[in-house]
A and B are shown apart, each in its own frame.
Chain A
Amino acid sequence: MLVGITILLVFQLVGEVTAYFLGGFVPGPVIGMAMAAIVLTLTKGSAFLQPAHERTIDTSKAILANLGVLFVPAGVGIIQHLDLIRDRGFALMAIVLLSTVITLTVTVWVFILVKRLSGGYAND
């Protein structure tokens, strides 16, 4: 657990440093995510790094299995905007709902249609 969380934090740290030099438009943790995938792929099969790989995978699975709880603290921040929600809550909800439904629909159909056109379902 300690080895796994240390490896994840180091990737995040390297990601943050990279993000700083890139001007900050790509978030550090997202760079860390890409780096983790790349480094694990490049070092796959190394007997020396095998235990570190396994611990990183185990820790990641434990975190991802409880991903939802990590959004609760930020979400509770909604209590700072109760006045806006009281005055314009309906419009706010309508925008969020409409935009989310449209985005989900457009994204999933572009994915499916391009996959179909490029023969991605040929084996189904």
Chain B
Amino acid sequence: MTDGLWVYLATSPLLWLAGTLVVWLAATGLSGLAPGNPLLNPIMISIAAIATVLCVTGIDYATYFEGAQFIHFLLGPATVALGIPLFEKLSLVKSNLVPMLSALVVGSFTAVGSTVFFSDLFGFSPEVVASMAPKSTTAAVAMAISSGLQGDPALTAAVVVLTGICGAIVVTPMMNAMRIKDFSARGFAVGLASHGIGTARAYSVDPVAGLFSGIAMGLNAVLTSLIVHLFL
């Protein structure tokens, strides 16, 4: 009887949609127990928990994604929503225009260049190097760039998420250690290096950091798609 129920539920989108939201709420509750501790990143906790459940129960990713796609879809309108803080704080953005554009150009070349350099050094195949090169840009853009370079978009998506979590975890301790107090600079750096996951982290630390992070993510998506072929 319960086996039949599980078979019925495990293949229905409802279970994985509701499950993702419940796991996320639990993960944010957990990270709320130690506010500011970057290691309790709710995105990382949620992914680890759900991936474990799927591996243990033998449910494949396609089945999971049938439910989770409704959440995934909101990435588009959420990116548009990043334009609203841009509108609300336009004068702050204007007064930082020159530092922003300088950091964008140098940062974007550094992100792609360092990734290609280290992946070559570790002896990865050209396909894997191409899949990793756009890893600092937001997932949809990175996957489009990767397939244009004969990379593997599914691998790109995984590396993009890893990069996002890595940046979200290291940014606050790093910036504090370097004694950088300007949240526009901190936010811009994490948005450029770690796209939307860095931006989610930035918003949880400081609204100005979140604003500049969202702008950096958008600008870097455009610039990376223009320069990435120079490295491959």
A95 and B119 form a contact (CB under 8 A): yes
B126 at the interface (CB under 8 A from A): no
Say whether A60 faces chain B, with CB atoms less than 8 Å apart: yes
Residue total for B at the interface (Cβ-Cβ under 8 A): 104
Selected from A63, A99, A108, the residue in CB contact (under 8 A) with B185 is A108
B38 interface hit (Cβ, 8 Å): no
User: Contact string, A98-118, partner B, CB cutoff 8 A, digits 1/0?
Assistant: 111111111110111011001
| A2 at interface, CB cutoff 8 A | no
User: Is the contact region of chain B dominated by helix, strand, or loop, or is it mixed?
Assistant: helix
Q: From residue 66 to 108 of chain A, which have CB atoms closer than 8 A to chain B?
A: 67-82, 84, 88, 91-108
Contact A108 B82 (CB under 8 A): no
Given contacts A79-B55, A107-B192, contact A99 B115 (CB under 8 A): yes
Q: Taking the nearest CB of chain B, how far is it from the CB of A118, in angstroms?
A: 5
A111 touches B218 (CB 8 A): no
**Neighbouring B residues of A63 by C-beta, 8 Å:** 74, 77-78, 81
A37 at the interface (CB under 8 A from B): yes
Q: Assess whether B174 is in contact with A101, with CB atoms less than 8 Å apart.
A: yes
Q: Which residues of B contact A44 (CB under 8 A)?
A: 87
Least Cβ–Cβ distance between A27 and chain B, in angstroms: 5
A72-B218 contact, Cβ under 8 Å, with A77-B154, A103-B136: no
Residues of B within 8 Å of A91, CB to CB, are 122, 124
Interface string of B117-157 (1 = CB under 8 A from A): 01100101000100010011011110010000000001101
Binding site for B on A (CB under 8 A): 5, 8-9, 11-12, 15, 24-30, 32-37, 40-41, 44, 56-57, 59-61, 63-65, 67-82, 84, 88, 91-108, 110-112, 114-115, 118, 120-121
> Can you sample 18 A-B contacts with CB below 8 Å?
A5-B77, A36-B86, A44-B87, A72-B23, A74-B139, A74-B157, A76-B68, A78-B47, A79-B61, A81-B158, A88-B124, A100-B163, A100-B170, A104-B175, A108-B103, A111-B100, A112-B185, A120-B99
